[in-house]
Each structure stands twice: as structure tokens, then as C-alpha cells.
Amino acid sequence: MSAHPELFDVIIVGGSYAGMSAALQLLRARRSVLVIDAGTPRNRNALAAHGFLGREGMAPSDIAAQSRAELMRYPTLAWLTGRAVRAERVDGGKRFQIQCEAGQGFSARRLILAYGVTDALPAIDGLAERWGRSVLHCPYCHGYELQEGRIGVVGCSDDGGAGQALLLCDWGNVTLFCRDAARIDPAQKARLDACGVVIETTPLLRVDDTATAVLADGRRIVTDALFVAPVSRLSCDLAEQLGCGLQDAGCITADSAKQTTVEGVFACGDAARMAGNIALSVGEGALAGVAVHHSLVGLLD
């Protein structure tokens, strides 16, 4: 890192798809950029990524590695594998100071928060070790490969999983595991019935094999995949440290240019919208990168 200036034009916290996309725009504008990445992308367990034109079916790790290699060709890029733990405005608000877990400190004129979210799954044995493989959350990313097969939905959301179950009817035959069917709105229940969704109220104890649901009464219901809506939280608290506003869903509040409620701080990717989609993250990152450059030259309203 010693070959790079202490003060960067931009520090990007998070080097996954959104962060790298933002970096690319800034590097091509000949700006100095430091990417600080913890190396734990949200989709690290997935074997293949879908819905991203030009990279359909590639392993997420391969997409990330190729993207990083492309960025490393630019001489104004610095990359640090580590975890940023402290952020503050200094010098009368003209720059931002970032402290890393290993003790390094860096500063920049602008800051992009692209550190994503961390998913918390229901406390059911067997879910976590299958996460990203046969326990999934996004049908647009993984539904087509099920070939209209047997789909289970773990009803852990406020609506008992009804919304997710209805959505998944376009991808296969759905069984909704919801021990508290009273959470399902009567109108939603009627729609579930019309779609042929089976509602199973016996508690789900664990998951075996590929995605076999083992119930409290001993029954085993074989599915090709289980879908769950995890509780997703920001992967670190830098936004809160800086005083950035948060939305009700827990994302960082950002305007149409991806600037947060703190001037000079921008946010993109899952941290700003919890989209869970590579294509959307890349697009948001590009928007953030261009907006930051406009900000640096005084053209951002």
C-alpha cells in the first residue's frame, strides 16, 4: 500500500459487485481509489449465478475474480483485503477517515459504502449448511433450474411465507411450511388454494439430504429446494457511525444519485436496497461511481 497516496479521492468499503462496478467508473475517470474488502460476499456459497447478461451460469467466485483482475489493470487502484471498523468525518467535513481492524488508517475525499448485508436464517437444523445450494432466497436467481419441480417455502416472514409461496408458483409445485397458519391473510389463503399450494402446519424440525423437510411428527417431505426469506442486516455499522439515515428495511437511505443523508457519503448494492441480484448491484455501483465523480468536480446538485 505504500506506493499509493495517503489521501485517496475515494474509498470504497466493500469489493463485491456493486463496489467493483463503482470503482471501475472512477478509475476510468483517472481518480485514485482504495477498495477495502472483507472477502465474504453474500453469495459465496452459491455454485452458479443467473440473471446477469454475459455471465449467465458462471460461478460467482469466477465473476468476482475476473472483475477484480480487470480493475487491477488500472494504476490508480489500491486494494486492501481487510475489515473496515471505524469511519468519521475529519478536517471540517472535507474528508473521511477509515480505520481497519488490523490497525491501518486511510482517508479520502469521498466514501462509498458497498459492504452489503449479512443473512440470518431461522434456527432450523440443516438450513445453514445448505444455504446458497438447495436452501435459497431468490427464485429469479435459482428458480428456473428447478424445472417445475417440488419447492418448499419456510414460512418465517410476517405473512407466514404466503407472498413468497405465491411468487414461487411460477417455478414449481409449492409446499408452504407454516406452523402458524393464522398469520396468513384470508385473501392470501384463497390465492394459495387457487394455485394449489399445500400448507403444512406441522413444525419443521430439520432438513436432510438435498432438501428433505423432516417434520415433528416424523414425516419426511422431499423437495428439490427450500426457499426462505432471511433476516438481512447491514454487514457493519459504518453508516450509523457517520450519521447516515437508514430506511425501515434496514438499508442505508440514498437518493437517486446514491448519495446518503451525509454529504460526500454514497451507498450502493444490497446495503442500499437489499436487492440480492448481481445485475442490479452492478448497475447501482455504476450509478454511484459516476455520481461520486460528478461530486468531486462540483457537478452534483
CB 171 within 8 A of CB 139: yes
Q: Global pTM?
A: 0.93
Residue 81, SS3 per DSSP = strand
The C-alpha atoms of residue 140 and residue 142 are separated, in whole angstroms, by 6
Q: How far is CA 207 from CA 4, 106, 125, 129, 274, in A?
A: 50, 45, 6, 10, 26
Q: Are 197 and 174 in contact (CB under 8 A)?
A: yes
165-186: per-residue pLDDT in tens? 999 999 999 999 999 888 999 9
Residues written for the chain: 301
Helix (H) or strand (E) holding 290: helix 278-296
- The grid cell for 4 is 499509493
Domain boundaries, the chain: 7-118+231-296, 122-228
Q: Which parts of 58-196 fold into alpha helices (H)?
A: 60-71, 139-142, 162-168, 186-194
Q: Is the pLDDT of residue 8 over 80?
A: yes
Q: Which of 1-5, 41-45, 277-281 has the lowest mean pLDDT?
A: 1-5
Average pLDDT over the chain, rounded to an integer: 94
For 7-118+231-296, CATH number out of 3.50.50.60, 1.10.540.10, 3.40.50.1820, 3.30.465.10 equals: 3.50.50.60
pLDDT average, residue stretch 14-36:
98
Domains 7-118+231-296 and 122-228 share a fold: yes
Q: What is the pLDDT of residue 5?
A: 47
pLDDT in tens, 259-293: 999 999 999 999 998 777 899 999 999 999 999 99
Pairing of strands 150-154, 225-228: parallel
pLDDT band at 1 (very low <50, low <70, confident <90, very high): very low
* pLDDT higher than threshold 60 for residue 75: yes
Contact 175, 222 (CB under 8 A): no
* pLDDT level of residue 157 (50, 70, 90 thresholds): confident
pLDDT in the model for residue 277: 87
62-66, 78-82, 181-185, 186-190: least confident range: 181-185
Share of residues in the chain with pLDDT > 90 (%): 87
- The 10s digit of each residue's pLDDT in 114-150 is 999 999 999 999 999 999 999 999 999 999 999 999 9
In this structure, whether the domain defined by 122-228 belongs to CATH 3.50.50.60 is answered with: yes
Name the percent of the chain lying above pLDDT 70.
98
Give me the mean pLDDT over the 183-196 stretch.
94
> What is the model's pLDDT at position 273?
86
pLDDT at residue number 248 = 80
